[in-house]
Amino acid sequence: MRENKTQIVIGSDHAAYQLKEKIKAYLIESGMDVKDVGTYSEDSVDYADFGIKVSKMVSAGEYERGILFCGTGLGMSMVANKFPHVRAGLCSGLFSAIMSRRHNDSNILVMGGRVIGEELAKEIVRVWLETPFEGGRHQLRIDKFDRIEEMM
Ligand code: RB5
């Protein structure tokens, strides 16, 4: 029953490889269908390569949600937010994770493997997946993001 599972694409660099693996296990245990685009070890890589892979898939609508990890989460969020239709939120606490869904309809969650621990990261993922977008005035606000490219 693959089509009934929430599909999610994840990726990290070496700095957050361990956290990605732990969150991957948590997502699978929670019944999700997880696509892991790498990295697959702690050998040094460039975070942009993995940020691009995940963001491309979310931007194209192949996956509704993605999760990215790097050391701080900063580089991955900078990469992800360059893609059309991607709204990536860097979260190191529960309030940001909830609000990134309620007000920003974030479709990529970004976390820093050198910033937060496993248990907090799991809680952030849980609330981020459970919290709905409020729509209304917030939809009108995020609609303006799509017009940015036309202004360039
Ligand atoms: C890698 O050392 C580190 O720069 C990367 O994981 C990330 O924190 C970049 O923003």
Compute CA distances 88 → 2, 28, 36, 146, whole Å: 26, 22, 18, 14
- Its pTM stands at 0.96
Which residue segments constitute the domains of the chain, with CATH numbers given?
A: 7-151 (3.40.1400.10)
For ligand 1, whether the C-beta of 80 sits within 6 Å is: no
77-132 pLDDT per residue, tens: 999 999 999 999 999 999 999 999 999 999 999 999 999 999 999 999 999 999 99
Is 85 an active-site residue?
no
Closest residue by Cα to residue 78 from 101, 102, 53, 48: 48
For ligand 1, whether the C-beta of 47 sits within 6 Å is: yes
30-40 pLDDT per residue, tens: 999 999 999 99
Q: Tell me how far apart the alpha carbons of residues 25 and 58 are, in angstroms, rounded to a whole number.
A: 21
Which H helix or E strand runs over 54?
helix 47-59
Q: Tell me how far apart the alpha carbons of residues 16 and 59 are, in angstroms, rounded to a whole number.
A: 23
Instruction: Kindly state the average pLDDT of the residues 36-58.
Output: 98
